[in-house]
């Protein structure tokens, strides 16, 4: 049952390029959580701590696999490298039944200018806020980095100031369930390489994810992900000003794809400057006033979304330009006339011209309607007639000099209108049925490469 305690390798630090310490863990009492440690212990061996001293400076890597047997606490006993002049630290905790990441641990871990923490299959994951670094001044001039990756955990709360005081950072959560993503999870992070939520269910993003009220993206092609990515997520509430993005120098990216967003409050996604924005294949339960405020030089794609309910000015902040697509979106309206005869009641900004929206499903139970039912087709047929009427109005208006980039002629628009009600409605709504449990799916590509530039 027990593994044998591996031999500890002793290497004189001077001659050594590598110092390998295989590590055990000490248990205070059998029912208490395990304190993960980087010292040789006398019981089960779960962790491997490797320090290296290559030319670039000292590094440490701590990898633990708890074999689904242990509830684990990370505190300063795990990370005792204060005097080691580390340049980078990598900590990975895998297969624990629960993990508690204490502020004492975070404070020690952040002593390394480049610090990365991965927690995979960590069961219930408790995260604490990070206190200010006690040696912050020493590091202030460094090009520091901190990255956190959470895969397949149940995280009741991502607390405020969980990541702080770095020149660059990254944060990724995959196949997890999250309760509250608090306001100001990021504090004094000068640039973010990536901020990613994938295949994850989040109860609420309470407000701006950064205490400063905005996030500066900066690009570096280390991973297959970069910028803001919300992909296949369910977020029941995206609070006011949640993701307010700006950019450093390169063209950055923001993507919201294949997701279910419940209430999307004012300024939930704000993007300005050199950013490409893709909002595609989502279901929005409710868009509040100016939910998206996108005024960027990069491409803007707002395609194949379903909007169940929207404030009249919900998309007034989504500015279109000549590299914008608005394809096959579906918007629920209570009566076809409302939209078809009155263009000012469409949710889009006038810079977006005549978007190829629509439509129409019954007012009361939009998701219950099968697209192939007779009533839908009756409505769709009605709509086509109404759209024809609308088109003549648009054409007439464009002769007045109103520019409409997306008016591609009658028939494609009508066909798109039909296709959109056919393709989008039931399917998209059901892709993102909230999963209560993180799945045990394979983990790919989650390794961090520490930043050294
Ligand atoms: C680190 O070094 C300081 C003095 O530089 C010393 O007081 C302290 O005990 C050392 N800590 C450890 C853990 O070695
Ligand atoms: C963790 O557990 C899973 C299945 O329980 C196993 O496949 C995997 O090898 C374990 N270790 C790591 C590092 O994922
Ligand atoms: C995780 O927390 C939930 C409540 O938040 C609890 O019901 C469950 O038993 C916990 N699981 C573990 C493995 O501790
Ligand atoms: C989307 O995320 C859910 C978990 O929320 C997962 O079960 C599902 O497999 C994911 N779908 C895809 C296509 O990755
Ligand atoms: C978004 O961030 C910009 C700075 O990039 C700031 O000027 C603006 O006030 C912020 N908007 C909101 C709603 O917080
Ligand atoms: C798009 O508009 C910009 C100015 O807003 C112009 O420089 C560019 O040439 C235009 N591109 C196309 C393909 O029309
Ligand atoms: C068109 O819609 C707007 C806003 O929804 C409303 O104020 C206006 O009265 C409507 N016009 C007509 C002719 O119905």
**Closest CA to ligand 7's atom 2:** 345
Question: Quick one: tokens of 79?
Answer: 């990370």
Q: 256 CB contacts (<8 Å, ≥6 apart)?
A: 230, 231, 269, 278, 279, 280, 282
Q: Ligand 6: which atom is nearest the Cα of residue 322?
A: 1
Cα 337 to averaged position of ligand 6 atoms, centre (Å): 35
**Closest CA to ligand 2's atom 14:** 94
Look at residue 39 in the predicted model and tell me its pLDDT.
65
> Among 289, 375, 275, 292, which residue's Cα sits nearest to residue 329?
292
**Closest CA to ligand 4's atom 3:** 199
Domain presence at residue 133: yes
Domain presence at residue 167: yes
Q: Which ligand has the nearest atom to the CA of 269?
A: 5
Structure pTM?
0.76
Look at residue 268 in the predicted model and tell me its pLDDT.
97
The Cα angle at residue 171 between residues 259 and 231, in degrees rounded to 5: 15
| pLDDT exceeds 90 at position 24 | no
Domain presence at residue 178: yes
Cα 255 to averaged position of ligand 4 atoms, centre (Å): 17
Q: What percentage of the chain reaches a pLDDT higher than 90?
A: 42
With the C-alpha atoms ordered 68, 148, 64, 76, is the resulting torsion angle positive or negative?
A: negative
User: What is the rounded CA–CA span in Å between residue 321 and residue 29?
Assistant: 64
Look at residue 68 in the predicted model and tell me its pLDDT.
92
Domain presence at residue 72: yes
pLDDT digits (tens, 9 = 90+) for 364-412: 444 333 333 333 333 444 454 445 444 444 443 433 322 222 322 222 2
pLDDT digits (tens, 9 = 90+) for 88-144: 899 999 999 999 999 999 998 988 888 999 999 999 999 999 998 776 556 555 678
Mean pLDDT value across the chain: 73
Domain presence at residue 402: no
Contact present, 421 and 376 (Cβ < 8 Å)? yes
User: Given ligand 5 and candidates 192, 213, 268, 294, which is best to mutate, with the most ligand atoms within 8 Å of its CB?
Assistant: 213
Cα 322 to averaged position of ligand 6 atoms, centre (Å): 6
Q: Which residue has the higher pLDDT, 408 or 322?
A: 322
pLDDT digits (tens, 9 = 90+) for 244-253: 999 988 889 9
Look at residue 363 in the predicted model and tell me its pLDDT.
46
Q: Ligand 7: which atom is nearest the Cα of residue 312?
A: 5
Most distant pair of Cα atoms in the chain: their distance: 85
Cα 65 to averaged position of ligand 2 atoms, centre (Å): 8
Q: Give the highest mean pLDDT range of 81-85, 122-126, 387-391, 428-432.
A: 122-126
pLDDT digits (tens, 9 = 90+) for 332-361: 766 555 555 455 556 778 787 655 544 444
Question: Quick one: tokens of 34?
Answer: 């395990």
Lowest mean pLDDT among 12-16, 62-66, 296-300, 325-329: 12-16
Strand segments (E) across 239-346: 243-247, 252-257, 260-264, 269-273, 275-280, 283-287, 292-296, 300-303, 306-307, 324-325, 330-331
Rg of the chain's alpha carbons, rounded to an integer? 26
Task: End-to-end CA distance of the chain: give it in Å, rounded.
Answer: 45
Q: Which residue has the higher pLDDT, 66 or 412?
A: 66
Look at residue 55 in the predicted model and tell me its pLDDT.
79
**Closest CA to ligand 6's atom 2:** 322
Mean pLDDT (whole number) for 213-224: 84
Number of domains in the chain: 1
Per the structure, the complete domain to which residue 168 belongs is given by 36-361
Look at residue 413 in the predicted model and tell me its pLDDT.
27
Q: Ligand 6: which atom is nearest the Cα of residue 323?
A: 1
User: Given ligand 4 and candidates 439, 441, 444, 445, which is best to mutate, with the most ligand atoms within 8 Å of its CB?
Assistant: 439
Domain presence at residue 436: no
Domain presence at residue 166: yes
Q: Other CB atoms closer than 10 Å to residue 381's CB: what's the count?
A: 11
Cis peptide before 440 (omega within 30 of 0): no
| pLDDT exceeds 80 at position 19 | no
**Closest CA to ligand 6's atom 3:** 322
DSSP string of 202-226, one letter each residue: EEEE-S-SBTTS-EEE---TTSS--
Lowest mean pLDDT among 52-61, 226-235, 272-281: 52-61
Query: CB pairs under 8 A, 24+ apart, for 402-411?
Result: 402/350, 403/353, 404/353, 404/354, 405/320, 405/322, 405/324, 405/352, 405/353, 406/320, 406/324, 406/326, 406/352, 406/353, 406/354, 406/355, 406/356, 407/353, 407/354, 408/356
Q: Which residue has the higher pLDDT, 406 or 76?
A: 76
Strand segments (E) across 31-181: 34-39, 47-52, 58-65, 71-74, 86-94, 98-101, 114-127, 145-158, 163-174, 177-181
Q: Which residue has the higher pLDDT, 20 or 310?
A: 310
pLDDT digits (tens, 9 = 90+) for 181-196: 999 999 999 999 999 9
Domain presence at residue 233: yes
């Amino acid at each position: 049952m027990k593994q044998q305690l591996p031999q500890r390798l002793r290497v004189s630090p001077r001659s050594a390029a590598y110092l390998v310490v295989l590590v055990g863990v000490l248990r205070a009492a059998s029912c208490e959580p395990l304190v993960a440690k980087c010292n040789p212990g006398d019981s089960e061996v779960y962790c491997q701590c490797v320090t290296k001293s290559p030319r670039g400076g000292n590094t440490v890597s701590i990898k633990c696999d708890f074999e689904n047997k242990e509830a684990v606490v990370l505190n300063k006993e795990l990370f005792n490298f204060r005097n080691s002049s580390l340049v980078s630290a990598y900590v990975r905790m895998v297969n624990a039944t629960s993990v508690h990441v204490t502020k004492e641990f975070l404070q020690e871990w952040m002593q390394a200018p480049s610090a990365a923490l991965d927690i995979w299959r960590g069961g219930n994951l408790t995260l604490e806020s990070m206190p200010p670094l006690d040696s912050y001044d020493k590091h202030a001039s460094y090009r520091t980095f901190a990255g956190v990756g959470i895969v397949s955990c149940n995280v009741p709360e991502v607390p405020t100031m969980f990541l702080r005081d770095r020149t660059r950072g990254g944060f990724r959560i995959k196949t997890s369930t999250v309760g509250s993503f608090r306001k100001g999870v990021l504090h004094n992070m000068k640039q973010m390489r990536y901020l990613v939520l994938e295949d994850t269910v989040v109860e609420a993003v309470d407000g701006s994810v950064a205490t400063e009220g905005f996030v500066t993206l900066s690009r570096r092609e280390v991973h297959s992900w970069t910028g803001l990515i919300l992909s296949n997520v369910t977020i029941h509430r995206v609070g006011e000003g949640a993701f307010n993005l700006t950019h450093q120098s390169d063209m950055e990216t923001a993507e919201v794809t294949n997701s279910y967003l419940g209430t999307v409050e004012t300024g939930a996604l704000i993007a300005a400057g050199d950013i490409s924005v893709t909002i595609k294949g989502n279901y929005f339960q409710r868009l509040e006033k100016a939910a998206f405020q996108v005024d960027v030089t990069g491409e803007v794609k707002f395609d194949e979304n379903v909007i169940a309910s929207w404030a009249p000015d919900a998309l007034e902040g989504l500015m279109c330009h000549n590299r914008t697509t608005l394809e096959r979106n579906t918007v629920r309206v209570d009566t076809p006339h409302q939209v078809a005869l009155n263009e000012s009641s469409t949710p889009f900004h006038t810079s977006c011209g005549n978007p190829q929206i629509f439509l129409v499903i019954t007012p009361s139970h939009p998701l219950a309607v099968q697209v192939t039912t007779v009533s839908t087709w009756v409505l769709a047929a009605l709509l086509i007639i109404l759209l024809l009427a609308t088109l003549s109005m648009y054409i007439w208006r464009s002769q007045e000099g109103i520019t409409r980039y997306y008016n591609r002629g009658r028939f494609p628009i009508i066909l798109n209108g039909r296709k959109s009600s056919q393709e989008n409605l039931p399917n998209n709504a059901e892709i993102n049925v909230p999963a209560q449990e993180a799945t045990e799916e394979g983990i790919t590509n989650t390794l961090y490469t520490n930043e050294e530039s």
